[in-house]
Structure 1
């Protein structure tokens, strides 16, 4: 199927509402509390799941899930029992002689699973990296007293190039792997979720945060996406084979057109800014100064960047509030700060706002009748719409 650039641009535009909702930050307990940004926080959560008597009421389910992942990386004669472990946090892995000698500082394993005949020393970190800990000390602690043992890197991301100084021998288990296994178990055991709604809520948020991520979409957005695909003539892609290739080709095509539209959008904003700056210096400044009895406009500046970049400043005399001509992203940001927000603003228009005398935030904002396209095409010298909007905004200030 061949689509013209215009067709694809229309598709990207039509998909934007659904895509923006799916990519927007959604409510999640972990995200709200900024939980998981430090290894100790996550060690607490995984220790809770691993404990067979934890308030999660899963019994030894997660222990078995975790140990099965560990055993999958061990040879047959080194397999570990899959349950029956005590869970201990913050364990000093030094041997007795090292502790007695006092020459070696503590080397703390985040979690240790221990039973009389087996143990697992776990280093929990964002990446598969020993980050300064001693692998051999961890291993010695795990196999002490003739136990079978293993050292595990529990992590968010598997990055083998970071594993060195013995840590390349460690077993790597990722959050997503064990949480996906837990998700599958919960799906099979519907009674647990019904009997333990609070625990289920917490675990599901953990799964969404560490497995599915912020791009996970709800059913309504999925249906909206399919509807848009049908309305724009792209639905036949669902029948393409192999499906993996069809998905990648579609994603690449949408990404390329989205990139082009974004770049063109920025060029459009830059053109509007240049047009407003030129009009303000050549025409608007004089129009205002002919009408203002006090506080004439002394300078026209365009100095801001970031979300405040799409703005032209009209600086007046000392003690007089600055007038801002704003549009696009900056108008959106200004409207979020002004005490009396505009209802349903039209962002294809130019806006004007008035700064507080102390320079702190906008005090008032108005939408003008001037369209962005008009600015790009060039405003005439006798166009007084921006002047009138500024005068109404300023009043007697």
Structure 2
């Protein structure tokens, strides 16, 4: 392995016979042995060994040099006071304290006093001075017409044409009040204030509300029932039409329970068969003592029952008897059962009209058939 050609350096050769360290110095400074590390200077003030901060001074001396122009200066700031004779308040600006500076700014003189407010120069006008010796009103006229005494050319507000009425004009020469009367009665002088009467219902002290002379409450009763004092009608509670059931009606004169049975099963008296519970844990197939798996049978007999419909059937070679088709319960109808014991035709009639024998005629009337 080639090593660096610098004496005493055993670094691996990288380029030009130098290791990475010496090759870097040679490439940067032209000398593989150059040492150009920065040496931090100390403060140039005699006797100060602190590190240089700026302009050859340490932080402390640089601050003095920047503030006073001399790094060795030892200035104690003197508190400035107001330049007005006899005033020892702290200086604020332009040689004055806050009090005298405010007077100087307002009146141009630190010893100035409040002068009385200027008024308009027009004789007889005491308006506050605005500009050029005039108040705002006369200055505006002077600015517009060149004469502060020029008449105001702004359009005057129109007033009501009724004699003695100075209200502002609204429409058709009338103010709002007279125009409303003119619109309602055809004459602006007709009408006037309408005083509400007392309710004409005996014993009522409220003011009348509707045109019938009743107050709001009695007018509501009169408008709804035709009588200002209706007797509240009490509704009689209706009960289920099933004998012995005291529940309130919900629909089709049935209570909720019987209506649900009628809606689902077509019979309000329908009662779901109770589930059979097998208290014994042994298979109910004769001679089998295995533990129950489902529907009272063990795994073996339940599998046969599920497959062949008979828990005792063993051979799959025995042809399976086709299950008889369930037919419509209507006498004389051989249609295949669809729902609620009816075939498709009778079930459709029952669902639509509530009776499997009702059909709709061409005129829309229901008639009973015996098919």
Flag whether TM exceeds 0.5 (same fold). Answer: no
Q: Larger % of helix: which?
A: 1
TM-score by length of 1: 0.20
Q: Larger % of strand: which?
A: 1
TM-score by length of 2: 0.21
Report the structure number with the largest CA radius of gyration. Answer: 2
